[in-house]
Structure 1
Amino acid sequence: MQPQPPAPTCYRHPDRPTGLACTRCGRSACPECLTPAAVGQHCVECVQQGRNDVRPVRNAAGTAVSRIPNPYVTYSLIAINVIVYAATALQAHSVMDNQRSRLFYDWVLVPAFVGDGGWVRVLGSGFLHYGPIHLLANMFALYVLGPYCEVALGRGRFVAVYLASLLGGSAAVTALSDPLTASAGASGAIFGIFGAVAVIMLRTRQNLTQIAVLLVINLIITFSVPGISIWAHMGGLLAGTVATTGILYVPRWLGIRETRTALNIGWAAVAVVALLAVLATVLAVPSL
């Protein structure tokens, strides 16, 4: 009588005899190491290989749809603005009259003070607000627009466009406003997000009516209400629109199809916008 050949064992657990095998690679495997598939069952390595072979679906901005994040960056920006406001209110001992704080004095954007070396004002002023109504209005706009833009562009590029817009607004104020005019607020960056959302909707062929109406209303308010920094809004709007156009359209105009190269070109476009804003500020300083 011929001896029976030894039963095959699991390739991952040699001490476990098994009559099962992966239908993809043919290796013997125990039930613990097999996953049901559309046809048969696959071992651990084949399941992982299948996941690696699946190309992620990407949106128009190149963001992997399967990795689209919750809008944590938007919420973080809102939190930073609120924390800065709380700090100024504590220093001023007043929720309504927070401009009397030392932090507000050190960060508010006054072009003449930038000329004296106060460069922190170029960025810091974008996180200051004149009273709670100013703060609430800007944070509500950021809450409405930010998540859409963050999901479309991805976290990193959303932050980059936001900061480029903020720098663009500060550059316009420094170069074109009265040197002794004081301005503060996140509205320059938020107008940049307005422009970014419009470009995203245009690129994805969505109806632009809503964003156009909102933008027109905000522009009417900008030009009709005294005390609003027109140049901050216009500079931010221009910077955000151009930066997002660089992300969504420049790779297409150049005929770039490879995702990584297109993403790098988009990053370069945002960097150029930010650098031009900084350069405009630097060039404006000697005349202040």
Structure 2
Amino acid sequence: MNYLEKYKEYPLTYGLMLISIVVFILGALSPSLDQYFYENGVLHGYSVIVKGDFLRLISSTFLHSDAVHIVMNMLSLYIVGTMVEKLFSKTAYLSLYFISAFFGSFAAIYMDLGVQAVGASGAIFGLFGALAGFAFVHRNTMRNQFIAFMKNFGLILVLNLAIGFAFPSISISAHVGGLIAGMLGGFIIAKNAKYLGLYAIGSFLLLFVLYKYFLILYNAV
């Protein structure tokens, strides 16, 4: 199978990877452009909550701090994303990805109102959570695969916590926020694909409530 055929099979996963890689290369080649990306695209609690710069919730997922960061995230996105793209519709995939990213960002903001963060980890963990939700729904029809998956699931969670404690710059809260959002979404959509709209609407209503709550917190400090 050539690269074009692979792209046609997993257009969303490769598309998301391509955007991140292009942005990283452009930033590496141009310090001024890299500075622009950082100033205008990084997740920043104050800018998102007080200034209403919600675009940062999306742009920050395509920014990465260094080569190791982007390589690890793109490898994870490739492994998990292609699996999700096989099991869910294109609309469900994108919904899971960005809703997980939003909840991951809000979780990071909740832990630190002044947070400044980049990366697609929250979204990627959301996709991983979606696989867990899907596996749980179909646990009776895919028992052996479910058991194997849950073992790997637990191992990855433990490793993530260990890495997070070893490197304080990594936001565990963003990972957990994205994971929970994706797991819930994967469970709901696997139950009935028609519930995708309900999941999306419910998610954005909850995000709106969290946003209002954060406004109160900012006014209190």
User: How would you bin the TM-score normalised by the shorter chain?
Assistant: 0.7 to 0.9
Partner of residue 173, structure 1: 108
Show structure 2 runs of 5+ residues with no match: 1-7, 140-145
Q: Does 1:284 align with 2:214?
A: yes
What are the superposed Cα offsets for residues 216-252 of structure 1, whole Å, 9 maximum, x if unpaired? 2123212332211122111111111111122123xxx
Q: Structure 1 residues 139, 274: closer, same or farther in 2, change over 3 A?
A: farther
> Is contact 1:248–1:266 with CA below 8 Å preserved after alignment?
no
Partner of residue 198, structure 1: 132
Q: Structure 1 residues 244, 271: closer, same or farther in 2, change over 3 A?
A: farther
Q: Counterparts of 1:112-151 in structure 2 under 5 Å?
A: 112-114=46-48, 115-151=50-86
Partner of residue 203, structure 2: 273
SS at match of 1:117: coil
Bigger Rg over Cα: 1
What are the superposed Cα offsets for residues 63-83 of structure 1, whole Å, 9 maximum, x if unpaired? xxxxxx822111111111112
What's the TM-score once normalised by structure 2's chain length?
0.83
SS at match of 1:227: coil
Show structure 1 runs of 5+ residues with no match: 1-68, 250-261
CA distance in 1, matches of 2:216, 2:27: 30
Q: Paired residue for 2:156, among 190, 201, 214?
A: 214
CA distance in 2, matches of 1:203, 1:184: 32
> Is contact 1:194–1:215 with CA below 8 Å preserved after alignment?
no
CA distance in 1, matches of 2:17, 2:137: 27
Partner of residue 183, structure 1: 117
Question: Which one has a larger percent helix, Structure 1 or Structure 2?
Answer: 2
> Is contact 2:136–2:187 with CA below 8 Å preserved after alignment?
no
What's the TM-score once normalised by structure 1's chain length?
0.65
Q: Compute the RMSD of aligned alpha carbons.
A: 2.0
Partner of residue 229, structure 1: 171
SS at match of 2:43: coil
Query: Quick one: percent identity of the two aligned structures?
Result: 30
CA distance in 1, matches of 2:155, 2:89: 25
> Is contact 2:109–2:115 with CA below 8 Å preserved after alignment?
no
